[in-house]
Amino acid sequence: MSPFGDRLAGAMAEHGPVCVGIDPHPGLLSAWGLGDDADGLRTMGLTVVERLAGRVAAFKPQSALFERHGSAGVAALEDVLAAARRAGTLTVLDVKRGDIGSTMDGYAEAYLADDAPLRADAVTLSPYLGFESLRPALDLARRTGRGVFVLALTSNAEAAGVQHARHDGVPVARAVAAAAAAENARAHDAGEWRRMGSVGLVVGATVGSAPQRLGLGLDAVRGPVLAPGVGAQGAGAAELARTFGAARAQVLASSSREVLRAGPDGLVDAAASLARTARTALAPPRTPEGPLP
């Protein structure tokens, strides 16, 4: 399997830089006329895959909203991931795992091993037990051609106390970005990818100028940037362009409620509108002679 970053770059070029979240919140399930149970989760997830496969770059199921229904909910999540694999659309499983030692080994095997029932093309990870604590997931993803998105700058108000804090004079978020850049550089030097690295970052689309103020250097990471918060959470074209600047070609804009609240019959139009917004906002700046190289 070719590296996740290269596959994602191709999908973004073909379908637009858009990731649609599969977040079966109770209110959304009710609006869809579905029960807040494993059958409702499965129906919503499979409907999103059926209607939008081949129309968006990736799906992002929110694991917690399936896990709350226990083993039946996890089985529904397995079915949704399997359907996306059959349809040929990439998946980013939003699990935000982060631990140490054998526990991190277990999380890596659960989501990134070739034979794992919950395997996805990429997962989200939390580095706040130390970036190197993620080593089992980083190494397994590299071996299996999968990817990871490491939390760097999230949009919740509580995050700044950790992510903006300085250690040895360096903002924590900048150190996370630098570590991701180093992972991608090593893989590139080994000839493992051509278009984009497979170690990405999560940077909220609503964090404003924080990436610039903290000196993250997102373009230098040379990996994808997952940008949640587009649509219902307040970020639009202007926010995407301002927040990501020179890294805009690497950005995968993510929206869940903005698309899902359109209902089953409105999914295609809602996703197409999101894709148009993202393409416009994340296109390279133009000069009088044409686009910049």
The residues that are catalytic are: 96
Taking every pair of Cα atoms in the chain, the longest distance, rounded to a whole number of angstroms, is 58
- Helices first, then strands: H and E counts in the chain: 14, 12
β-sheet bridge partners, residue 199: 148
Q: Rounded to an integer, what distance in angstroms lies between the CA atom of residue 117 and that of residue 44?
A: 20
If you search the block for the tokens 């999230």, which residue do you land on? 154
Quote the tokens at residue 291: 């686009």
Q: Rounded to an integer, what distance in angstroms lies between the CA atom of residue 87 and that of residue 54?
A: 8
Classify 101 in phi/psi space as left (phi over 0), alpha (psi -120 to 50) or beta: left
Q: Rounded to an integer, what distance in angstroms lies between the CA atom of residue 276 and that of residue 28?
A: 24
Query: φ and ψ at 159, to 5 degrees?
Result: -70, -30
CA angle 120–258–80, rounded 5-degree value: 25
Alpha carbon distances (Å) from 243 to 60, 92, 208: 21, 22, 5
- With beta carbons less than 8 A apart as the criterion, state whether 22 and 45 touch: yes
Q: Rounded to an integer, what distance in angstroms lies between the CA atom of residue 99 and that of residue 135?
A: 10
Q: Rounded to an integer, what distance in angstroms lies between the CA atom of residue 184 and that of residue 170?
A: 20
Q: Rounded to an integer, what distance in angstroms lies between the CA atom of residue 48 and that of residue 25?
A: 14
